[in-house]
Amino acid sequence: MEEHVRAILAALGEDADRDGLLKTPERVRKSLEFLTSGYGASLEQIVNGAVYEETVDEMIAVCDIEMYSLCEHHMLPFVGKAHVAYLPNGRILGLSKLPRIVDMFARRLQVQERLTQQIADAVMHVLEPKGVGVVVEADHFCMRMRGVEKQSSYAVTSCMRGRFRSDPRTRSEFLNLTGQRKPPR
């Protein structure tokens, strides 16, 4: 990967051997390995047995989960927040596992639409709850730094499964909990 980064620098008209760029290929490699570390994670590793039998029957939500990802079209960042909720069906998940699930899918080359669905489907798979709701709000640097160059726009995607999809009251409660706050800046 480092040789490819050197080639990219050369193609840009840079001298990869100048002081400021000498370690750039290594830094880029390490950065990309970290930013795409979700490929090396599995749902089983993330959950790690933190599923508990419980009679709770009210909505459980973790909101404002910070997330960072790379757009698969331009490899530029998109950053924002995910809101994840579920209706238990006799089992609950350790609360820290929801942000870890978000990170596992966000730390890949992504599109926000797929990311939102992957989070919902993972929670459905692990818990088999009565329903899952996920909302992701994100700023896309491919829209800020290039192309349309719109600084104030952000994207909101949602994925509803089970009762979050079929019951308008459940969906409304979830959307009220997330608050559809101000942009994720």
Q: Facing residues of 67 across strands? A: 80
The catalytic residue among 110, 112, 117, 118 is 112
Domain chopping of the chain, boundaries: 2-35, 42-178
Q: What is residue 43's predicted lDDT score, i.e. its pLDDT?
A: 97
Topology annotation, domain 42-178:
GTP Cyclohydrolase I, domain 2 (3.30.1130)
pLDDT above 70 as % of the chain: 97
pLDDT digit string, tens, across residues 100-149? 999 999 999 999 999 999 999 999 999 999 999 999 999 999 988 888 88
Mean pLDDT of 167-182: 84
The catalytic residue among 3, 66, 73, 125 is 73
Mean pLDDT of 57-81: 96
The catalytic residue among 83, 117, 137, 140 is 140
Q: Is 125 known to be catalytic?
A: no
Q: Pairing mode, if any, of strands 91-93 and 51-53?
A: antiparallel
pLDDT digit string, tens, across residues 29-53? 999 999 999 999 999 999 999 999 9
Instruction: Compute how many other C-beta atoms are within 10 angstroms of the C-beta atom of residue 47.
Output: 19
Nearest C-alpha neighbor of 87 from the set 3, 183, 172, 161? 161
Q: What is residue 78's predicted lDDT score, i.e. its pLDDT?
A: 96
Q: Facing residues of 106 across strands? A: none
The catalytic residue among 2, 14, 63, 142 is 142
Nearest C-alpha neighbor of 183 from the set 158, 160, 156? 156
Q: CA-CA distance, 36 to 27, in Å (whole number)?
A: 14
The catalytic residue among 33, 54, 66, 72 is 72
Q: CA-CA distance, 158 to 79, in Å (whole number)?
A: 16
Q: Is 54 known to be catalytic?
A: no
Q: What is residue 180's predicted lDDT score, i.e. its pLDDT?
A: 59
Q: Facing residues of 62 across strands? A: 84
Round the average pLDDT of the chain to a whole number and report it: 94
The catalytic residue among 2, 63, 74, 128 is 74
Q: Is 83 known to be catalytic?
A: no
Q: Is 118 known to be catalytic?
A: no
